[in-house]
Amino acid sequence: MEYRIEHDSMGEVQVPADKYWGAQTQRSYGNFKIGSEKIPKEVIIAFSYLKQAAAMANFRLGNLDERSKDLIGQVCEEIREGKLDGNFPLAVWQTGSGTQSNMNVNEVIANRGNEIAGKKILHPNDSCNMSQSSNDTFPTAMNIAAVCEIQDRLIPAIDLLVSTFLDLEKKNKGIVKSGRTHLQDAVPISFSQEISGWRSSLERDRELILATISPLSELALGGTAVGTGLNAPEGFDTEAAKAISELTGKSFQTAPNKFHALTSKSELVQAHGALKALAADMMKIANDIRWLASGPRDGLGEITIPANEPGSSIMPGKVNPTQCESVTMVAVQVMGNDAAVGFAASQGNFELNVFMPVLIYNFLQSVILLADSIRSFNDNCCIGIEPNRQKMHENLHNSLMLVTCLNPYIGYENAAKTAKLAYAENISLKEACVKLGFLTPEKFDEVFLPEEMAKEQ
């Protein structure tokens, strides 16, 4: 491998000749060979918006020349286009402020920009990091990445599954089945009502997640090292937030209190709590679907779902609810990530939180896993859900909890006696009710109408 010599304030370092990073990136790369987890590309893309916006703000404020501003912007666009992939190798398990990743981006922009210019114009610190500190850029990149991934990736996935459930509601209207509580038989419910519960849960989760966007849109940039804004010109924070909004097409504002913005990560904790709520509902929905599809002969068998793969290496013909299992594993991971996010956010000692890389790594993993798993669940399972009408009808009319409709006519205690006798002697509710003398056969038939108990609107 060929190398070139780069230097920083600590001296000279050998860097691979085919990479654009510099000495500080190389030191971190060598010092933190821990795990396989790298700073997410979504954070690097967020940094590209941030660095371009900072250059625009510095230019507007008269502190950066136009050529430098344009070079920084051009390289940042290349980063977003994926042209510089492979130049951001640093581990999550680095300094807790993300300083080395901030410098990684600065060095790549400077070296690539100077290559474009054909001469040395940009400096990693003086040009690319002008008016900034790692302490305010990394939390800013975290929030940009969080907002963009939620709005551009997760919300569309939720909307897709909501649309599928709406279609299933319309398609299955009028089908009445047994409800279940405590995994026991309960009074009737229509299949469309059951689906509407899944759909409404997702709609509420969407609301809760979107409610976190406004707090996440307040950026630390401009606070520099400890929140005082040292070495940042007046108005830089507002101009930079304005430029980030222009570049991303999203609404960002400067945080009103930079001391809070540097050390507290409560906004990300709140947002991840909403992600955990979505994960909890996805766990419930996926479990409902695999229970309802259990069988095909010895389970509930009230619905069928697409058969995507062979389910066993030893049992021929077995098919398993693999998409449901994938969703529930993702839900477990998100719930675990929530603990990591909370613990990391609690480590805001004095003027800076120094658990930021692990926090945003887990946060973004949750967003991406939820979005991808919801799309897969929709495309490979939910759009193919079909009711087993015969099985639903059999289960409905076999349910002892239909006795509930007799309460107004024979009272709760007599209805309980009817159900217990029917169960003990394995006879129908009608036979038990008549045998106990509570109703005549004719009156029983008049008031016992299972399909009307669901009260479908």
pLDDT digits (tens, 9 = 90+) for 9-62: 999 999 999 999 999 999 999 999 999 999 999 999 999 999 999 999 999 999
* Token pair listed for 145: 């990445």
Cα 37 to Cα 91, 231, 380: the distances in Å are 6, 33, 29
Residue type, 91: A
Which of 9, 36, 182, 313 does the annotation list as catalytic? 182
For 361-397, what is each residue's pLDDT tens digit? Answer: 999 999 999 999 999 999 999 999 999 999 999 999 9
Cα(59)–Cα(92) distance, integer angstroms:
32
Let me know if 133 is a catalytic residue. no
Q: What would the mean pLDDT of 129-136 be, rounded to a whole number?
A: 98
Is the domain 3-130 a CATH 1.10.275.10 member? yes
Bridge partner list, 7: 12
Cα 46 to Cα 43, 128, 145, 212: the distances in Å are 5, 15, 5, 18
Is the domain 399-452 a CATH 3.40.50.300 member? no
Which of 200, 251, 266, 312 does the annotation list as catalytic? 312
Cα(364)–Cα(142) distance, integer angstroms:
9
Cα(200)–Cα(409) distance, integer angstroms:
35
For 151-189, what is each residue's pLDDT tens digit? Answer: 999 999 999 999 999 999 999 999 999 999 999 999 999
Domain boundaries, the chain: 3-130, 136-389, 399-452
- Could you write out the DSSP letters of every residue in 298-364? SS---EE----S---SSSTT----HHHHHHHHHHHHHHHHHHHHHHHHT-EETTEES-HHHHHHHHH
Looking up tokens 């070296």 gives 111
Cα(342)–Cα(334) distance, integer angstroms:
12
Task: Using alpha carbons only, give the angle 103, 60, 127 rounded to the nearest 5 degrees.
Answer: 25
Let me know if 178 is a catalytic residue. no
* Token pair listed for 195: 């689906």
Cα 405 to Cα 47, 246, 400, 402, 411: the distances in Å are 63, 61, 11, 6, 10
CATH T-level assignment (fold) for domain 136-389:
Fumarase C; Chain A, domain 2 (1.20.200)
Reported pTM:
0.96
Cα(330)–Cα(319) distance, integer angstroms:
21
Cα(221)–Cα(227) distance, integer angstroms:
9
